[in-house]
Structure 1
Amino acid sequence: GTDVMKVEEINRKGGFGIVAKCRDTKTNRAVAIKVNKTRPDILQHAKLEIFILEQLRRLDPDAANIVQWNGFFHDGERVCLKFELLNQCLWDYIRNRKNQGLPISEVRPILGQLTNALSHLGSVGIVHADLKPGNIMVVNCHESPIKVKLIDFGLACPASAVMPGDRVGTVGYSAPEVMLGLPYNETACRTHWHHLAQDDMWSLGLVAVELGTGVPLYPGNEDYDVLKFIIETQGQPPDHVQDSGVYTEDYFIEDNDNQQRWTFKTDQQFQYETGYESLETRYIKLTRLDDLEQVMMFRRGPENGQRLFVSLIKQMLALDAHQRITPSEVLRHPFFNPKSSPFVFFLCNNIQHCYQYIFQKMPLLSSKSFLLLRP
């Protein structure tokens, strides 16, 4: 039979088209419809997305924390994809909490579910390639703990189809090897499906930081800015990572006399070559990832599990993809098994006392370890 959909509201707009909340007149159920534009390249993308969604049908969407896809139909030349209707995206959820960050007790189940989603994607050989808070939906905001699902497989691809230099994803969430255009490790892919999720794991690490602090860690307008923020916080990717990058020479100069063979271009050099003026867009400026613990204490007060959380983040954000933690290792990390950890954090009843303690022990604002650049 013919699908008759009554549009009730437009939920999001993008380069591809729109996602609308619709009412299925046959069943009277509310559904989400992704309506793709008729441009040939977007139609091609829609076909690819359908191909990916067909692969994902092998998974149980609830058990895998991915959106349920209910097929597609044509509206004239437009391809329309039908999905279950979900409550709100994680970006809005974080923003509605005044960008203070979520308590560890909320971060843990959300991060666990997203890791589970990556694990399931890996089992069918799919890389999401655009993991960010805007592509993660909360099923129902009023549940506790909330259930989340991954959406938008418009950039997803079979790992075997990704070529060196393919630039996918969103600026500020892409892994260093994606920005540098490194080839995927085909042999590792064939033998260990969990290696397929290396780039997604980096993005998930950044989503986790955003959950814990309420703000993005590397919110750059351009890959140059993001690489600069990463290098200032975590240091430079090792030479062997940069050697095989298709785009390494866009951002680095080869210098054999130096201890590290590649030197990051200065703002002035990059602007001279490209015309792009680098911008400082960070909310928090760190000189090491360990300082995330202080940031979280400063924004939320101290909580059990903050140090374990930061130790996990460091493994998710390893600069070398081969050193990066895998989904199954994430779920075995002490952050998810606090009883197995010898580390017990102090708890203060009096929040005022906590803040005094923090300022005495760690004079935050006088220290160069991190700056709060924006509220």
Structure 2
Amino acid sequence: MLLIWIDHQSSFILGKHYKVEAFLGEGGFGIVAKCRDTMTNRAVAIKVNKSRPDILQQAKLEIFILEQLRRLDSDAANIVQWNGFFHDGERVCLKFELLDQCLRDYIWDRKNHCLPISEVRPILGQLTNALSHLGSVGMVHADLKPGNIMVVNRHESPIKVKLIDFGLACPASAVMPGDRVGTVGYCAPEVMLGLPYNEAIDMWSLGLVAVELATGLPLYPGNEDYDVLKFIIETQGQPPDHVLDSGTRCIKLTRLDDLEQIIMFRRGPEAGQRLFVSLIKQMLALDAHQRITPSEVLRHPFFSTKSSLCIDMSAERSQNPVVFQHPSNLEIVAEGCSFLSLALLKVSSFLKGVFPSHCR
């Protein structure tokens, strides 16, 4: 029997007429369920928040954000369509359109758990479009990662994707320096260092997502900010002094990297790979002020070739911002390589192409 309540009560009806059909996922907030509206017979996704006071407060903030995003055309903006909320007892339930599969699972089902550049391009274009629309209303998503990106229909070609989960989103004008947002491994340096941040943190995260799509592995793995920053410094060098000097968090990088020598794996040749690497370097600029913007991304030569992005930029400048007052084809050249070594080799190969001057 499907258990859908965090408090272990079992029931199959949410509100008055949403019949639970499947459990889709869970997080610190609660659970997401696939439901059937018994009045319209339409399938929907419902985010059921826990009844804890702090979660209820977070749900109210998310509703505020979603209300602002209603000014956008969800299809044109590549963001999930929100259809309001209701209460189920003390729980706040948010209604969304039902989408097919998260991008993390989509790439996991593919060969080598990665996509060719020709498939990365339209996905990256659509997500850049989503960031452009969020920027047009002054919003920062603040938790962009493969698990928060949904494929609308995996059988379409090219696939269409939408950005979901605005639980950590906020108006750029409301950002407080030192606020810890995002997920370890996808956070921009300015977030990890406790600096003021803006929409540029989403571009950093998108750059990491793009690399993961192309390689099948996270570029900067780690369980803590320390580990991630160590990877960043090893591959890109130390952040500029003015960035480090402004940080509110002090992380002393004193450990030496004693990873054993590994044998390099190379990606097979793919059209557009060099331009892709060029774009990634601009998306992952350590200084947020130097990081490429969504409109600049879409003008990059990587997107100059004819490809269907499934995007509509017509609404980009029509909104007012919200202001708050206060390798594929890998050749294994050594036997007996562990999975961890294989992962390190794959990432190291990509890093050498992206940041050759800092790879040793």
Q: TM-score range by the shorter chain?
A: 0.7 to 0.9
Matches for 1:25-174 after TM superposition, within 5 Å: 25-174=38-187
The CA deviation at 1:104 is 1.1
Q: TM-score, normalised by structure 1?
A: 0.76
Question: Match for residue 12 of structure 1?
Answer: 25
Distance in structure 2 (CA, Å) of the matches to 1:209 and 1:69: 29
Distance in structure 2 (CA, Å) of the matches to 1:3 and 1:160: 38
CA 68–355 in structure 1, closer or farther in 2 if over 3 Å, else same:
closer
- The answer to whether residue 345 in structure 2 is matched with residue 371 in structure 1 is yes
- The answer to whether residue 280 in structure 2 is matched with residue 313 in structure 1 is yes
Distance in structure 2 (CA, Å) of the matches to 1:198 and 1:333: 17
AA matched with 2:204? W
Question: Match for residue 323 of structure 1?
Answer: 290
AA matched with 2:208? L
Question: Match for residue 175 of structure 1?
Answer: 188
State the SS of the aligned residue for 2:77. coil
- Runs of at least 4 residues off by over 3 Å: none
State the SS of the aligned residue for 1:20. strand
The CA deviation at 1:227 is 0.3
AA matched with 2:279? L
Distance in structure 2 (CA, Å) of the matches to 1:169 and 1:102: 24
Q: TM-score, normalised by structure 2?
A: 0.79
The CA deviation at 1:48 is 0.3
Distance in structure 2 (CA, Å) of the matches to 1:178 and 1:126: 16
Distance in structure 1 (CA, Å) of the matches to 2:155 and 2:80: 19
The CA deviation at 1:3 is 4.4
Give unpaired runs (5+ residues) of structure 1.
Answer: 185-195, 253-263, 268-277, 287-293, 340-353, 360-369
Contact 1:94 1:214 (C-alpha < 8 Å) held by counterparts: yes
State the SS of the aligned residue for 1:371. helix
AA matched with 2:289? H
The CA deviation at 1:303 is 1.0
Distance in structure 1 (CA, Å) of the matches to 2:330 and 2:224: 36
Give unpaired runs (5+ residues) of structure 2.
Answer: 1-14, 307-328, 334-343, 349-360
The CA deviation at 1:105 is 1.1
Question: Match for residue 255 of structure 2?
Answer: 266
Distance in structure 2 (CA, Å) of the matches to 1:373 and 1:113: 25
Distance in structure 2 (CA, Å) of the matches to 1:64 and 1:170: 23
Question: Match for residue 323 of structure 2?
Answer: none
* Seq. identity, %: 81
Distance in structure 2 (CA, Å) of the matches to 1:373 and 1:232: 13
State the SS of the aligned residue for 1:13. strand
More helix by share: 1
CA 144–181 in structure 1, closer or farther in 2 if over 3 Å, else same:
same
CA 355–128 in structure 1, closer or farther in 2 if over 3 Å, else same:
closer
CA 164–83 in structure 1, closer or farther in 2 if over 3 Å, else same:
same
- The RMSD of aligned alpha carbons is 2.4
Distance in structure 1 (CA, Å) of the matches to 2:188 and 2:254: 19
AA matched with 2:287? D
Distance in structure 2 (CA, Å) of the matches to 1:183 and 1:355: 41
Distance in structure 2 (CA, Å) of the matches to 1:73 and 1:265: 51
The CA deviation at 1:355 is 7.8
AA matched with 2:291? R
Contact 1:99 1:215 (C-alpha < 8 Å) held by counterparts: no
Question: Match for residue 22 of structure 1?
Answer: 35
AA matched with 2:99? L
Q: Between Structure 1 and Structure 2, how many residues are aligned?
A: 300
CA 208–337 in structure 1, closer or farther in 2 if over 3 Å, else same:
same
The CA deviation at 1:99 is 3.7
Matches for 1:196-345 after TM superposition, within 5 Å: 196-247=198-249, 249=250, 251-252=251-252, 264-266=253-255, 298-299=266-267, 301-338=268-305
